[in-house]
Structure 1
Amino acid sequence: MGEPTSMVSIHHPTSGTRGPTGDSGLPLVKKSRLVGVDAARGLALVGMFSIHILPAWDPETYEVTLQWQLFAGRAAALFALLAGVGLAFSTGGRTAHRGRTMTADRVGLLIRAVLITVLGLLVNQVMPEDPPAYNILTYYGMFFLLAIPFLHLPARTLFILAGVTAVTAPVLMQTLRGVLPAMEVYNPTITGVLTDPGTVLSQLLFTGTYPAAPYLTYLLAGVAIGRLNLRSLHVQVRLLGAGLVLALAAWLVYWVLIMQAGGFDQLMSSTPGLSQEQIDEIIIWGPDPVLPDTSWWWLLIPGPHTNTPIAILYGLGSGAAVLGAFLLIGRKAGAWLLPLSAAGSMTLTLYTAHLLALAAMVHYEVPLLWFLIHAGGAAVFAVAWQRAYGQGPLELALARTAGAGRGLVLTSARCED
């Protein structure tokens, strides 16, 4: 019981209503939604809109724009972190489901992963070859598949595993860089899956824009956070504080080792094909498409989509801080968060519509206007739809399909009993 999974919302009634029975046979009491979680997810959605539509640099000064500094890489990290939080909520909340109920949860999540992947591939089919946005939906399916074995674990174990994957996944990616096939398109399609499944799988796991191997850190940390009592003021404050400390610590490691202790010189000497300006561009804008594998010093830079340990911990810290801040705001001013929280409750629908609108390629001439249309339209639609129908249209279809599979597992278990 609790919040929906990010991108794949599961509607639930308000506090005090009775839901399905648990393993004990007693009815489960479903709590009201945490507005702060939905609002944080809504901010991540707006952040993705801004990265896809607004310019990354000022055309006159060539300085990095504020929205790029705030959201590049971190909006996706926040999405993935909140996906983990949602997985925790939908698999028992503070106490993970056990036995057949957890098995049913895993089957439901497997169905969701497959459906989201197919949806992402279908959207990619209509995107141009040089896409205006890199679709995260296909990667989302892989995120969920990798998370399935970890859903039963307690928070402490999940936090430890998140720390391990934050380091080992980037090291593994660098080690395999010369072995894995390079991705051929930014957004994999159904055609690519059928003709070259190995390259697509490699892209989804290691070489793509949102590779699932390092992003598993966000999922595991999110599930761990979702196992905490997020309605507690003490937990919310600690989440904000710990997130800020983690983000600051990650940035300081980069600043000391790369900018002060000779790490930048090591990058230049080990990668003679890159100038100082080109290395600066990777740190600011991210790699295209992957980091060089010429030196382990590359794993200490924090650039967007570099997926280094520093970048992951920086994104994890900033995401936790954002979630903590919105949970605190939601305690007293939840109504003011309605545009964000409504949009955050149906991000699968809104993100899909956003990508399909971008495929028309009409947003480049007046980016600010089109950003306002996308963000404002999403908020207005979400508020109106939520008040009229509750769950978003794609979220509802996904929930019913996955719920049917979950129900089959529980029904078969009762028949066996």
Structure 2
Amino acid sequence: MAVQQVPAGTSQDCSSVGGRLSGVDAARGIALLGMMSVHIIPATDETGQTTTAYLVASGRASALFAVLAGVGLALATGGPHPYRGRRMLATRSGLIVRASLLALLGLTLGAVETPVAIILVYYALLFVCAVPFLSLGARALVPLAVGWALLAPALNHVLRSSLDGSGSSNPTFGSLAEPGVLVTELALTGYYPVLPWIAYLLAGMAVGRLALGSPRVAAGLLVGGAGLAILAKVVSWTLLYPLGGLARIVGSPAVERRLSTSLGGTTPTTSWWWLAVSGPHSGTPLDLLHTIGTALGVLGACLLTIRVAAPLLTPLVAAGGMTLTLYSTHVVALGVAGHDADETALLIVHVIVAVAFAFTWRAYHQRGPLEAVISAAERSVRTFTSNARRGPLP
């Protein structure tokens, strides 16, 4: 969730503030508020119907974060012109440090008694997995992202079919005592399984290699993303209803309800028909394609809006510029104070406090507290690596 700097020399015109794409930060702000809403608002209301928060944000908010992580990685490694040689080596070294610190923070937050499925350790592993792809351009990343979204869920399905079950608890330092179990949960069975989720990172990196300052690119993301999201849902509906897939996999109303709330990261492996669903946090090809589409649509809308009505997005830009700090604070607050109060009121309090703190802090500092610590460590390693390779970077 740490925000990446836009590299010097990248053409991003007036939509950047402090070296950072404001539209990207606004999209991060939307992702943050979406995750807050599903952390606080129940999945179903008193009548048993799926709540609006889950219908809108479940699965889509966390996917938006992951896609934007890929965008940030691309921007931090040259944007449309990927770094080469020593500069890329230094950036890769810094990214490993960033991932390590995110993992430490995630393991620490895992000790908090909270209802939140904490994403940070998964996020850290995603960053490590991104290292081999950092030098690729958009032409290579687009088909790679599509292929990964289509094939990785099937591979995950096969691998999980020989395992006992899905992980359900947040990783903690105690989890390090069983590294095999931890890696299996992070990669295959957990709430944010890294193997299929690499598709989000690759899609975001492909987008980050484009000229995001161009209104034509932004409009393409909006229209293309919306089209992809709709197409994935139509294909899923066709497979499940006219072709009878739903009858083969759903045995009770409770299971069917999970298709509109959350499947906990993975589907059962009892039938290949499960790969036809597109429900939140199912990790299927159609779920990945749908949520990649919604993420691209949100980013395109933010990039367009920031050009014509930037003040409207100011709160989102402020919050989106320090999502790691705000997300971590939100998790701790839910663990310490609980959420027995009226859920809507509690959500409003969390949002107001987050935006107010972001406004206040960013009036004096470019980065949030946790972002500043991680960025400083990453920058030190990059400088050390570049100096160790025969002098400073050109």
Decide which of 73, 80, 102 is 2:66's aligned counterpart.
80
Return the alpha-carbon distance in structure 2 between the equivalents of residues 66 and 203 of structure 1.
30
2:3 matched to which residue of 1? Answer: 9
The residue aligned with 2:27 is: 40
Matched residue, 1:149: 132
Where does residue 78 of structure 2 map in the other structure? 92
1:295-348 C-alpha deviation (Å, 9 max, x unpaired): 111001011110000100000000100000010000011122111111000001
Q: Percent identity over the alignment?
A: 41
Deviation at 1:364, TM superposition (A): 2.3
1:140 aligned to 107, 110, 123, which one? Answer: 123
- Pairing partner for 2:276 from 290, 300, 304: 300
Question: Mind listing any 5+ residue stretches in structure 1 that lack a counterpart?
Answer: 1-6, 17-28, 269-274
**Structure 2: distance between partners of 1:392 and 1:64:** 35
In structure 1, C-alpha distance between the alignment counterparts of 2:66 and 2:183, rounded to whole Å: 19
Alpha-carbon distance in 1 for matches of 2:17, 2:223: 29
Counterpart residue type for residue 173 of structure 2: I
Partner of residue 374, structure 1: 350
The aligned residue for residue 356 of structure 1 is: 332
- State the AA in 2 paired with 1:401: A
Matching residue's letter, 2:145? A
Superposition deviation, residue 248 in structure 1 = 0.7
Matched, 1:118 2:112: no
The aligned runs of 1:9-408 (5 Å cut-off) are 9-10=3-4, 32-59=19-46, 61-127=47-113, 132-180=115-163, 182-183=165-166, 185-193=168-176, 195-268=177-250, 275-288=251-264, 290-408=266-384
Q: Is the 8 A contact 1:11 1:391 kept in 2?
A: no
What TM-score results when the alignment is normalised by the length of structure 2?
A: 0.94
Change in CA separation of 1:340 and 1:143 when aligned onto 2, cut-off 3 Å: same
Consecutive unaligned residues in structure 2, runs of 5 or more: 11-15
Give the secondary-structure state (helix, strand or coil) at the position aligned to 2:364: helix
Aligned AA (1:8): A
C-alpha contact 2:265 2:283 (8 A) present in aligned 1? no
Q: Distance in 2 between matches of 1:322 and 1:399?
A: 26
2-structure distance, mates of 1:15, 1:145:
26
Q: Any idea what SS the aligned residue of 2:309 has?
A: helix
Distance 1:416 1:223 in 2: 26
Name the SS of the counterpart of 2:135 in structure 1. coil
Matched-pair contact (CA < 8 Å) for 1:11–1:390: no
Q: CA deviation at 1:168?
A: 1.6
What's the counterpart of residue 25 of structure 1? none
Q: Distance in 2 between matches of 1:141 and 1:386?
A: 25
TM-score, normalisation: structure 1 = 0.89
Alpha-carbon displacement from aligned partner over 1:72-116 (angstroms, at most 9, x marks no partner): 000000000000000001111110000010001100000000110
Q: State the SS of the aligned residue for 1:260.
A: coil
The alpha carbon displacement at 1:361 in A equals 4.5
* Separation in 2, partners of 1:64, 1:148: 39
Q: Is the 8 A contact 1:209 1:305 kept in 2?
A: yes
Please report how far the alpha carbon of residue 12 of structure 1 lies from its aligned counterpart in structure 2 after TM superposition. Answer: 6.8
How far did 1:30 drift? 10
Deviation at 1:290, TM superposition (A): 3.6
Aligned to 1:272: none
Amino acid at match of 1:89: L
Q: Alpha-carbon deviation of 1:279?
A: 3.5
Contact 1:205/1:213, CA 8 A, preserved across alignment: yes
* SS across alignment from 2:389: helix
Whole-angstrom distance in 1 between the partners of 2:231 and 2:319: 32
The answer to whether the Cα contact below 8 Å between 2:7 and 2:78 also exists between their aligned partners in 1 is no
RMSD over equivalenced CA pairs, Å: 2.1
Asked if the contact 1:155/1:228 (under 8 Å) is kept, the reply is: yes
In 1, distance between residues paired with 2:366 and 2:18? 16
Q: Which amino acid aligns with 1:379?
A: V
Q: Report the alpha carbon displacement of residue 416 of structure 1 after superposing the two structures with TM.
A: 9.9
**Against the structure 1 CA distance between its residues 76 and 145, is the aligned structure 2 distance closer, same or farther, given a 3 Å change threshold?**
same
Aligned equivalents of 1:249, 1:86: Cα separation in 2: 27
* Alpha-carbon offset, residue 267 of structure 1: 2.1
Where do 4+ consecutive residues of structure 1 move more than 3 Å? 10-16, 29-32, 180-185
Q: How many residues of Structure 1 are paired with residues of Structure 2 in the alignment? A: 388
Cα distance between partner residues in 1 of 2:17 and 2:8: 7
Which residue number corresponds to residue 4 of structure 1? none
Corresponding residue number in structure 2 for 1:21: none
User: Partners in 2 of 1:182 and 1:237 — Cα distance?
Assistant: 42
Q: Deviations over 1:93-152 (max 9, x none)?
A: 110000010001100000000110110000111235xxx110001111011011110000
* Distance change (3 Å), C-alpha of 1:370 and 1:154: same
